[in-house]
Chain A
Amino acid sequence: MSQEALFELKQVEKSFVKGKETISIFNDLNMTIDRGDFLAIMGPSGSGKTTLLNMLGGVDQPSGGEIWFDGARMDNLSESKLTQWRAHNIGFIFQFYNLMPMLNAARNVELPLLLTRLSRSQRKRSVEAALALVGLSDRAKHMTSEMSGGQQQRVAIARAIVSDPKLILCDEPTGDLDRTTADEILEMLQLLNRDHGKTIVMVTHDPAAASYARQTVHLDKGKFVHKEVLA
């Protein structure tokens, strides 16, 4: 295993059982994701992008093979161990933001910190720092349901980075946004990758979005078809 590898997938298989049929999405998928990478995953609908991202994020488990993270196997962890693993290591950014509409921006950002041992004042400071980073310091007390899509996604980014995870996973983070807002969000992800050393894996349909990444892999029928290195 190379020094830089954060993720290593070895002969990963994934299939879903639908009624009497078994649909095989991946069989024998091998890949590594390096520390500090910003990886875009592209591919046609149904090619397994979300399925792959879910396995990397520990919300879904492979049917076979091994997934190593930071030198330890994670695919065979129990559900409660995986839950803790996610809390410690992963920041999630969703296509539809997945904010809690009954909480204000600051309380939304604070959620992952409730899983840590931080005191109230430490949490407050981290929330303020995260909101400042996404340029929403003045909106801390606003309800997220009253915000624009771009603002909501920025709150979601603040939530994803507030507990300082090693890895950020995004599934179509700009899929619901217009071009200019999408560019803002992507620049922000790029900044997190370049200046804050976050490893980012982003699923997208949009070649313009993928151009912000360091590399892009194309997925089709459960295989990587080719890989581009951009930066």
Chain B
Amino acid sequence: MTSLFAQIGTVAMMNIRSLPRRLWMSLAMVLASAVVVAILLAFLAMAKGFESTMNSAGSDRVAVMMREGSAAEINSVITREQVNLIEESPGIARDTEGAPLVSPELYVIVDGLKKSSATKANIPLRGINTTGMAMRGNMQLVEGRMFTAGTNELIVGTGVLREFDGFALGEEVRFGKNVWTVVGVFTTGGNVFESELWADVKVIQSHYDRGSSYQTIRAQLETPGDISGLEKTIELEPRLNLEVQTESAYFAAQGKQLEYMAIFGRVISAIMALGALAGALNTMYTSVADRAKEIATLRTLGFSNLSAFCGTMIEALVLSAAGGLLGSAAAFLFFDGLSASTLGGSFTQVVFSFEMSPDLFAQGAQLALLIGFTSGFFPAWRAARLPVIVAFRAAT
């Protein structure tokens, strides 16, 4: 047994040391594995980043209500009367004076100029009051001040500031016939609300001719996650044709939107992996041919065919693992934290960051080793079956 390990170790060491003889082919195999792994990781990091931007936006302590059948905020309409009915519902938290913690909100879409492409894209402008802001537990002003109720002032999320032109503090922005002033910059800890502009809900109602109507109601829940009180109220009151869900459930569903990116990334990298595999197989078959005389000589001396097999396998795994490491490093350097934006649920831009994480790297490593294993196996088999008399042939 010790002899077998010594044999395999020596053969593997010899194969690695002979790599300079096959420098370019071996480098090509490393690079091909690196590219495949980097591409897989980029897509996965994109999906992951989007998902956590959405997920972290959602709170269990908040219920979101929209008109029945409207999948996203933009499609919903809610009347003042419905807001009043909801405020009476059980299950809603109340402040010290007994007033229900309910935030009726408006959600309209305005144009912005994207920095990256200099093209127009949709930004949500949310009409909100102080109760609503308090429901975003991690909301913080990082610059400037809060907007004054009843004025054309707005505050801008850091995501919007990062991706769009013209929203710097103090600037005036024109949407349609209305001119607004940016008076503050806010963060919500990296989640989707940072991709929004916020202003006084009453001002938006009048500028956008919404009368006294809203689009969503958010309510702070008495017991986190428990929306049964609200469900009961809605069921018993025919005027409330509303859907209720926790905010976390609402955003979790939206976060799945970019799941197709992960699937797409897997498909793309699988196709590319096939290409890389073809190249890697070629590299490894060349390696076996290049080492044929050495393999046969060792077999003549009494080395086992298992050592020839394992030596080749180890060479393939070392090359592909090197590629995996290189690809992971490249993906980390180029993509981790990369800011991007995409269409969110209401045809508005959601700004998010690519997110690398250990489990993604593990998936990259798996892919690299899969390439190494598959490209090593058949050539290793050939190495093990190589006729020993090759050792006695004339020098090549």
List of A residues within 8 angstroms of B304 by Cβ: 80, 83
| Complex contact B301–A102 (CB within 8 A) | no
Is B293 interfacial (CB 8 A cutoff)? yes
List of A residues within 8 angstroms of B14 by Cβ: 100, 102-103
| Complex contact A96–B301 (CB within 8 A) | no
List of B residues within 8 angstroms of A88 by Cβ: 302
| Complex contact A86–B302 (CB within 8 A) | yes
Binds B, one of A35-43, A108-116, A189-197, A218-226: A108-116
| Complex contact A98–B302 (CB within 8 A) | no
For B278-315 the 0/1 string (1 means CB < 8 A from A) is 00000000000000011001111111110000000000
| Complex contact A59–B388 (CB within 8 A) | yes
Is A60 interfacial (CB 8 A cutoff)? yes
* Distance between A169 CB and nearest chain B CB, rounded to angstroms: 10
> What is the CA–CA distance of A90 and B303 in the complex, to the nearest angstrom?
13
| Complex contact A94–B391 (CB within 8 A) | yes
> What is the CA–CA distance of A85 and B112 in the complex, to the nearest angstrom?
81
> What is the CA–CA distance of A96 and B395 in the complex, to the nearest angstrom?
6
| Complex contact A98–B3 (CB within 8 A) | no
Tier of interface size on chain A: 20 to 34
Given that A96-B394, A96-B395, A115-B3 are contacting pairs, would A102 and B302 also be in contact in the complex, using a CB cutoff of 8 Å? no
| Complex contact B391–A112 (CB within 8 A) | no
Is B389 interfacial (CB 8 A cutoff)? yes
For A6-50 the 0/1 string (1 means CB < 8 A from B) is 000000000000000000000000000000000000000000001
List of B residues within 8 angstroms of A159 by Cβ: 301
List of A residues within 8 angstroms of B3 by Cβ: 114-117
| Complex contact B10–A59 (CB within 8 A) | no
List of A residues within 8 angstroms of B177 by Cβ: none
| Complex contact B293–A83 (CB within 8 A) | no
Is A129 interfacial (CB 8 A cutoff)? no
| Complex contact A114–B18 (CB within 8 A) | no
Q: Which of B2, B7, B305, B389 contacts A117 (CB 8 A)?
A: B2
What's the A-B contact tally at a CB cutoff of 8 Å?
70
| Complex contact A112–B301 (CB within 8 A) | yes
List of A residues within 8 angstroms of B299 by Cβ: 83
For B364-396 the 0/1 string (1 means CB < 8 A from A) is 000000000000000000000000110110110
List of B residues within 8 angstroms of A111 by Cβ: 10, 298, 301, 303
> What is the CA–CA distance of A103 and B300 in the complex, to the nearest angstrom?
18
* Distance between A36 CB and nearest chain B CB, rounded to angstroms: 23
For A114, the closest partner residue in chain B by CB is B6
Is A173 interfacial (CB 8 A cutoff)? no
Q: Which of A83-101 contact B (CB under 8 A)?
A: 83-84, 86-88, 92, 94-96, 98, 100-101
For B302, the closest partner residue in chain A by CB is A87
For B393, the closest partner residue in chain A by CB is A96
List of B residues within 8 angstroms of A103 by Cβ: 14, 17
> What is the CA–CA distance of A60 and B387 in the complex, to the nearest angstrom?
9
| Complex contact B293–A59 (CB within 8 A) | no
Considering the complex of A and B, which 10 residue pairs feature the smallest CB-CB distances, nearest first?
A87-B302, A102-B17, A98-B297, A96-B395, A114-B6, A59-B388, A86-B302, A115-B302, A102-B18, A112-B301
Q: Please list the residues of chain A having a beta carbon within 8 angstroms of any beta carbon in chain B.
A: 50, 54, 57, 59-60, 79-80, 83-84, 86-88, 92, 94-96, 98, 100-103, 111-112, 114-117, 159, 171
Q: Please list the residues of chain B having a beta carbon within 8 angstroms of any beta carbon in chain A.
A: 2-3, 6-7, 10, 14, 17-18, 293-294, 297-305, 388-389, 391-392, 394-395
A-B contact pairs, 30 of them (CB 8 A): A50-B392, A54-B389, A57-B300, A59-B388, A60-B389, A79-B305, A80-B304, A80-B305, A84-B302, A86-B301, A87-B301, A88-B302, A92-B300, A92-B301, A98-B297, A100-B297, A101-B18, A102-B14, A102-B17, A103-B14, A103-B17, A111-B10, A111-B298, A111-B303, A112-B301, A114-B3, A115-B302, A117-B2, A159-B301, A171-B392
